[in-house]
Structure 1
Amino acid sequence: MPEESNAVLTGPVQVVGTGLIGTSVALACRRAGLEVLLSDVVPDHVRTATGLGAGRPATPEDRPQLVVVAVPPDHLAEGVRDALAAAPDAIVTDVGSVKMAPLDALADQPGRERYVGSHPMAGSERSGPLAASENLFDGRPWAVTPGPGALPAGVRLVELLAEVCGGVVIRLRPDEHDRAVARTSHVPHLVSALVAGTLTGASADHLALSGQGVRDVTRIAGGDPDLYSQIISGNAAAVTALLGELRDRLDLALEAVRDGDRAGLSSLLAHGVAGTRAIPGKHGGPPRPTAAVRVAVPDHPGELARLFADAGDSGVNIEDVRIDHDPGRPFGLVELDVAAESVGELLGALESRGWAAHR
């Protein structure tokens, strides 16, 4: 194994598990000209991925330089263990969303030093190889999480994989990673599911009042329950600790609302506002002050394209877009987020072209 500074990703790269993430890794590696070997317990997935140009089926004679295990969380440790045994000269990584559990399960595994965990922060509501894209990871954070004793050259090889796939490498300890994703992914998903669950069985009259707020809060609750139960259970320690903190704040909220403690409630809400401002802004930079311009858009083909063209002609950069569809309106309300100082300029440009727009 070469020194870390001399590590070069030359392939072959074997991808174990040709679902959305695995096939996307394979396609990105093929884009870079690397030879890719494909394997999956579902032969049809390998055939589909092969047909997409993601690589060729792996054979027992193959000698991969790097093995990427892209299987469901419940099978991750087993997949890494099998890969270490089957490819004794290869570095093995995985793309699972929990890092301590597989590392602990491999504590006594021969060749454990060749395992370097990783986690690309990208995905889709779709699944399977047909949902894959060679561009899935472009510009996305990719955590690389070496455990104690991991070979430095192996760590570098996994970082090179992330870069080849278009990802932005973030090196973290496995326990740091798990705490981070509990805070930014796993607990938000649980909270979203709990809020969405309160809508079950609600009367039609209540649901008719649904606006963009409830859609925003509950959007991620639509993920696959089986998959997310595996992910969250695999990160039990970090999720449990954070849920404890959240429960304490929920208790404070209950007391403030029950007792009419306006100052206490305001403090909790202000704490939430501070949290939204802590989220990195566009391109990872600090958040910029923005404001929304709301535009009524007829609900038929071509209108969004016309709006975006007119907004583009104004010279104002659109930072974000949301569309709100209410049952009582025959049009959508499009919110265009722009730099706060550009609101007046965009409003004037759109109104001059006949759009009904307001702040």
Structure 2
Amino acid sequence: MRTAVVIGTGLIGTSAALALSGRGVRVHLQDHDPARARTAAALGAGTDEGPEGRVDLAVVAVPPAHVAGVVADVQRRGLARGCIDVASVKGRPRRELADLGGDLSQYLGTHPMSGSERSGPLAATADLFEGRPWVLTPTRDTDTEVLNLALELVSLCRAVPVVMDADAHDRAVALVSHTPQLLSSLVAARLEGAEETAVRLCGQGIRDVTRIAASEPGMWIDILSANPGPVADVLASVAADLDETVQALRSLQSSDEGERGGGAAGIEDVLRRGNSGRARVPGKHGTAPAAYEVVAVLIGDQPGELARVFADAGRAGVNIEDVRIEHATGQQTGLVQLMVEPKAAPGLSAALRERGWSIRQ
């Protein structure tokens, strides 16, 4: 691949363009808002000038509802040898393209499983896709050249290709992406009218659950409108669990010992099923999640503190597997939770104490 055009210079489109440009591909940027294309170009993602002839690959990075129309336009203009999209829904755009009379052999639906609660070209990074799954949904109609171009794009972005059926993909993302967004927003919405004293008690748990609730509503309306059925199915299942959990909690208020026991069993059941489901979420390098030990370090909110604690951990010969930061409300301090292999935790705690760090159990 020597040339590409990226249509839609938001987070995903600009990140892909940055990765391609950084690896020697000449990228042409287009957007319905020329200012966004100019911003992406200024970031080094490519040029906002049109290509002189046909490019190797067109990457359509627009909301799902607009994918089919844009792809059909690309094909009518003969803009590229092959065309892919990167929208988060795959079944409906393909069916809509067929209804428009588009050439399905020269089109491939794809979806990089990477993103952020931030949007727009200024949120883009060239390494956004590194190590992340990138779903490809070829069919028997897909031209081999188009599939190879898509695989080359995935490779240049240093992502991991995953081949799926389009409708199976849509059911999967309803479970692992679209429903979590709505549930995060539902929990965060409870905070809107909460007492200030309650909000000041927010800790890492509520921060983790509500992080993606900061996402742009307009973008998610586009996504959910293109995949409403599978999302509704998952939410209906969650709603059934919620109803049972509410009843179990009510039972815990009962004066009847047997009813309280039944309520506790109901709560234990959902918690244990949650444990089982969480254990299936891939961990580091796509392997089963490991049980790490947490070494919590109190740090000040000032430049260089994080770098210093990481450097001291490195001097102790300990690999940090994961990290979380919990900020203290109203204080200029926070807890850095260093996740390490259990056998390394005692030595790391001792080494950090020797270097003057305050360790919290």
TM-score by length of 2: 0.91
CA RMSD of aligned residues (A): 1.8
When the two structures are aligned, how many residues end up with a matched partner? Answer: 350
Stretches of structure 1 that go unaligned for 5 or more consecutive residues are 1-9
Matches within 5 A, 1:46-61: 46-59=37-50, 61=52
Moved over 4 A (4+): none
**Amino acid in structure 2 at the alignment position of 1:323:** I
Question: Which of 296, 299, 303 in structure 2 is aligned with 1:297?
Answer: 299
Question: Which of 111, 116, 120 in structure 1 is aligned with 2:108?
Answer: 116
**1:147 to partner: Cα distance:** 3.9
Question: Which of 259, 262, 265 in structure 1 is aligned with 2:264?
Answer: 262
Indicate the residue corresponding to 1:237 in structure 2: 229
Question: Which of 13, 36, 40 in structure 1 is aligned with 2:31?
Answer: 40
Indicate the residue corresponding to 2:119 in structure 1: 127
**Amino acid in structure 2 at the alignment position of 1:229:** I
SS at match of 2:98: coil
Matches within 5 A, 1:336-351: 336-351=338-353
SS at match of 1:199: helix
Distance in 1 between the 2:34 and 2:232 partners?
38
**1:71 to partner: Cα distance:** 1.4
Post-superposition CA distance 1:226-272 (Å, at most 9, x none): 11111122111211111111111112211211112111111110111
**1:85 to partner: Cα distance:** 1.6
Distance in 1 between the 2:129 and 2:65 partners?
23
The answer on 1:315 being equivalent to 2:317 is: yes
Distance in 1 between the 2:175 and 2:318 partners?
34
Matches within 5 A, 1:190-339: 190-260=182-252, 261-327=263-329, 329-339=331-341
**1:168 to partner: Cα distance:** 0.9
Identity of aligned residues (%): 46
The answer on 1:157 being equivalent to 2:159 is: no
Distance in 2 between the 1:19 and 1:81 partners?
20
Stretches of structure 2 that go unaligned for 5 or more consecutive residues are 253-262
Change (3 A) 1:114 1:265: same
Distance in 2 between the 1:204 and 1:43 partners?
42
**Amino acid in structure 1 at the alignment position of 2:279:** R
Distance in 1 between the 2:13 and 2:202 partners?
37
Post-superposition CA distance 1:314-340 (Å, at most 9, x none): 111111111112226442111111112
Deviates more, 1:259-268 or 1:149-158: 149-158
SS at match of 1:169: strand
Question: Does the 8 Å contact 2:54/2:79 carry over to 1?
Answer: no
Distance in 1 between the 2:79 and 2:122 partners?
31
The answer on 1:185 being equivalent to 2:171 is: no
Matches within 5 A, 1:135-174: 135-174=127-166
TM-score by length of 1: 0.92
Change (3 A) 1:135 1:270: same
**1:70 to partner: Cα distance:** 0.9
Question: Does the 8 Å contact 1:297/1:303 carry over to 2?
Answer: yes
SS at match of 1:202: coil
Indicate the residue corresponding to 1:69 in structure 2: 60
Question: Does the 8 Å contact 1:84/1:112 carry over to 2?
Answer: no
